[in-house]
Structures are given as structure tokens and as C-alpha cells.
Amino acid sequence: MDQKRSSFTGKIGFVLAAAGSAVGLGNIWRFPYLAAKYGGGIFLLVYIILAVTFGFTLMAAEIAIGRKTGLSAIGAFKQLDKRFTFVGYLAAIIPAIILPYYSVIGGWVMKYIAGFATGQAHVMAGDKYFSEYLKIIGEPIIWFLLFIGLTAVIVMLGVEKGIEKVSKVMMPVLVVLIFGVAVYTIVAMPGAWEGVVYYITPDFSKFSIMTVVAAMGQLFYSMSLAMGIMITFGSYMKKDISIEKSIHQIELFDTGVAFLAGLMIIPAVFAFSGGNEDALGTGPTLMFVTLPKVFDSMPAGNIIGAVFFVMVFFAALTSSISLMETVVSILQDKLKMKRIPACLAVLGFSLAMGLITCLGFNVFKDIKPLGLDDLLTFFDFIANNILMPVTAFFTAILVGFVLKPQYLIDELDIGGAFKAKRLFKVMIKYIAPIFIVAILVSSVLDAFDIVKM
Ligand code: PHE
């Protein structure tokens, strides 16, 4: 912690690095299935409102904490107020929970690259293909091992900068491809237009508390909030950069990619299922079931499919690297571990957890903790819907009542006047804490089936 901190060369460097961490499977895989499941347009609307108010405030607070203290989460909370040190630890556990199952999905992506590259689009487009694939005990584990192994090797060698460079080139191409596939689906497939309507017109009768619960969990996940990552990023940020402007750019980028991914996947679900509710509620497997059908129906679908999944792979890899890097640096700082042993420890833990996650689809398929469909969904729920709101809650209390908002506003004002002062104060003091508690209570009640929301 006491080594000299390097800093981002300039504004673009910061925004790109933060956006690189933010844009990943969360945008391309997670957002569309939640939007499909939780009412389409109404989910989109709730998500956007939350992003520009709640997400903005929390991201501003985290980056400002990082830049002000020059420390990452555990050290930062400790320095700000000893009693809040535990929040830093809480934040630190989250990436460790996400990394294993993130890598399981990364493995699915690799499997799909191989499938399309070997001309299997037609086979993969079969209705039961993916659900049958998950039942296999060996293969998904092997792809998972490859993905997490690759992540670990990159983190151990410290060559993530190289990967990030590649991915910065890939990212714009990915956006263009997503857009292209969306347009193709909408224009070429009968029934897709209803999907567009479902996706962009809010139907208030589909609104429930669970829409908000899901949207908020997604917001944390997608913007890499409430897990100390933005604090670390802030600690590397130079003083002459406007935090506010940077956040606007990150948000626009992150939400833009998520929006387009939804536009690519949801109309396709309609086209192939006739708007059948069951197809909309498929959950985590949605992208892997729907997209092969689209690619299979396209000319040169195998090539487009392979290229598409390669891009997704790079987006996922940069995110998994930043997840692992976060956990590794915490072990290095706190346990004074050397880099390689720290990497190996994180790898070992992730292997065990990832293995359990893979087996959750076959051997352990009857274990449905909290009534959730599988272990992957369970880990995802614990991280996004329980631990992240708790972390965000204490962050808001610390900033709103212990330090007082002005303390961070002073920091936010450096590098350009902070315009959203009022919003920041009201959000962080009152709305955010009350709102988070409400959300937390409802998601727990729902999970334990006490009240169905
Ligand atoms: N935000 C990333 C995504 O949307 C996930 C992630 C979270 C990555 C935290 C790094 C750190 O996929």
C-alpha cells in the first residue's frame, strides 16, 4: 500500500480503463436476460433512472474516496473511519465470489467460439442444445479451467496491459457487430418487431418490486460498483480530471452497450418463440440459446458467430482479469503475500468454487438454495442482491452521516466544478440508504418465499 501509486496518463486513460472493467458479460449476457425476464421496457426504464441517479451518486462517492485517500477499499475505509473498516473487507469478498462463476460463463463463451469456428451453428441452434450441454459433467469444466487458467496466467505474468490494448480495439468492433446483428434480426425475422416494442415500451402493469431489485443488482454488477473496484480506480486518478464528466462517459458507454445487447437478443427471442413467456424467462442461459439461432439463420453465420463470441471473450477476459487482480492485490496488501502465491491462492479458491458451480447444472442440480434455479444463480444472487447492497448501504451512511457529503464534494469539485451537488447530497444521505434497505428486505423476503413479489 505504501508503494508509490502509478496514475492514469490522462482523462481518456481513466475512462477507458474504468469502461473496460465495466463492460463485460454483465452487459452482453446478464442485462438482456434480466430485461427479458422482468418486463422489457419497464426494466429498461427503471434501470436507466437508477443509473443516472443512484449509480451516478455511488460511483462519484467511490471514485472520490479513492482519489482523496489514494488507497484501495480496505485501507480507504479504515483511514476514513476505523469503525467502517469492515466495509472494505465486505467489498473485498465480492469479487472473490463473482470471479469463479464469471469464469464458468467465460468457459461457455469459449465453447461457443469453438462450436462456430468448426461450423456447428446448425447443431448449436437446436432447442435443447445448451441445456443438454450443461448436463455433461466433463466438458464445461474443461472450458472453465481454460478460462480461469488463462486469466490467472495473465495476472501472474502481469501482462494485462497487452490484453487491454487488444480489447480496446475489439470493443468498438463488438459494438458494431451487436448493432449489426440487432438490425439483421429486426429486419429479417418475422415477429422480431414485437420484441422491439416489448423492449422499449414500458408496460407499467409489469412493474413489481422485483423489477427494481433486479435492476439495482444489475447496476452494481455492470458498473463494477460496491466492490471496491472504483475506489481503487479513483486512487489512480489524477487531480486535474473531472470525476463527474468521466462518470457520464462511463455510464453512457456501459448502458449503451447493455441497451444494444438487449436490442440484439430480445427481438430474437420473440422471433423464435412467438413472444412466449417461458422463452423470455429463460434466465442465465438466454444468450447461449437465442444467439446461435440468429447466427444459424444468417448467411456466413458460422463465421459471424465465431467472430462475435471472440469479441465477447475479450470483453469477458478483461473483466475477469480485473476481478482477479482486485482479489490478488488485497491478499498482497493485507497478508503481505507475494504476487505469485497470492495468484495461486485465488486460483485455488476459484477452481473449487467454479467446479461446484459447473456441477450445479448436473450432479448437484437438486440443490436449489433459496429456491434459486442453480448454484450459479445462487452465487450471483448472494453477490449482487445481498452483499453489494449491504456494502453500498454502509458506504452511503459513512459518506452521508459520518464524513458528511461536503467532504467528498470538495474532492469532486477538483478538476472541474461538480454540478450535481444537490442530487449527490440528497441521494447519498436519504434516498440511497432508505432505498437500499427496502430493496434488501424485499429481495430477502422474495428469496425465502415469504412474500412473492
Ligand atoms: N462490470 C463487469 C461486467 O459487466 C463485471 C465486473 C465487475 C468486472 C467487477 C470487474 C469487476 O461484466
In the chain, domain spans:
11-447
Q: Would you list the DSSP string of 203-224?
A: -GGG--HHHHHHHHHHHHHHTT
Task: Output the CA 79–ligand 1 centroid distance in Å.
Answer: 26
Residue 157 neighbours by CB under 8 Å, 6+ apart: none
- Write out residues with Cβ below 6 Å of ligand 1: 21-22, 24-27, 95, 221-222, 224, 227, 229, 319, 322-323
Task: Output the CA 210–ligand 1 centroid distance in Å.
Answer: 22
Whole-number pLDDT of residue 415: 85
Whole-number pLDDT of residue 3: 47
Pocket test for ligand 1, best of 319, 327, 329, 384 (most atoms within 8 A of CB): 319
- Cα 192 to the center of its chain, rounded Å: 27
- What distance in Å separates the CA atoms of residue 400 and residue 427, rounded to the nearest whole number? 9
Phi and psi at residue 402, in whole multiples of 5°?
-90, -55
Task: Output the CA 375–ligand 1 centroid distance in Å.
Answer: 19
Mean pLDDT by 10 residues, the chain (453 residues): 54 73 90 94 97 95 93 90 94 94 97 97 93 94 97 87 76 89 92 94 92 91 90 86 92 94 93 84 89 91 93 90 86 86 96 96 88 90 91 96 94 91 94 90 78 55
In the structure grid, which three cell numbers stand for residue 209, read together?
A: 418490486
Whole-number pLDDT of residue 10: 59
What is the residue with the minimal CA distance to atom 9 of ligand 1? 224
Whole-number pLDDT of residue 151: 94
Whole-number pLDDT of residue 171: 82
Whole-number pLDDT of residue 453: 53
Measured from the Cα of 229, ligand 1's closest atom is 11
Task: Output the CA 387–ligand 1 centroid distance in Å.
Answer: 15
Q: What is the 3-state secondary structure (H, E, C) of 97-139?
A: HHHHHHHHHHHHHHHHHHHHHCCCHHHHCCCCHHHHHHHCCCH
CATH code at 11-447: 1.10.4160.10
Contact at 8 Å (CB) between 239 and 410?
no
Task: Output the CA 321–ligand 1 centroid distance in Å.
Answer: 10
- Give, in order, the Cα–Cα distances in Å from 322 to each of 67, 232, 382: 19, 11, 20
Pocket test for ligand 1, best of 27, 93, 221, 254 (most atoms within 8 A of CB): 221
Task: Output the CA 324–ligand 1 centroid distance in Å.
Answer: 11
- Give, in order, the Cα–Cα distances in Å from 452 to each of 277, 281, 282, 351: 18, 16, 19, 35
- What distance in Å separates the CA atoms of residue 432 and residue 400, rounded to the nearest whole number? 10
Tell me how many helices (H) and strands (E) the chain has. Answer: 24, 0
Task: Output the CA 177–ligand 1 centroid distance in Å.
Answer: 21
Measured from the Cα of 254, ligand 1's closest atom is 4
- What distance in Å separates the CA atoms of residue 119 and residue 301, rounded to the nearest whole number? 9
Measured from the Cα of 29, ligand 1's closest atom is 12
Task: Output the CA 245–ligand 1 centroid distance in Å.
Answer: 21
Report the SS3 class of residue 8: coil
- What distance in Å separates the CA atoms of residue 423 and residue 54, rounded to the nearest whole number? 9
Pocket test for ligand 1, best of 322, 380, 387 (most atoms within 8 A of CB): 322
In the structure grid, which three cell numbers stand for residue 359, read together?
A: 456441477
Whole-number pLDDT of residue 27: 93
Measured from the Cα of 22, ligand 1's closest atom is 1
- Cα 303 to the center of its chain, rounded Å: 27
- Candidates 269, 311, 276; CA nearest to 291 is 269
What is the residue with the minimal CA distance to atom 7 of ligand 1? 224
Task: Output the CA 163–ligand 1 centroid distance in Å.
Answer: 16
Contact at 8 Å (CB) between 332 and 343?
no
Task: Output the CA 322–ligand 1 centroid distance in Å.
Answer: 8
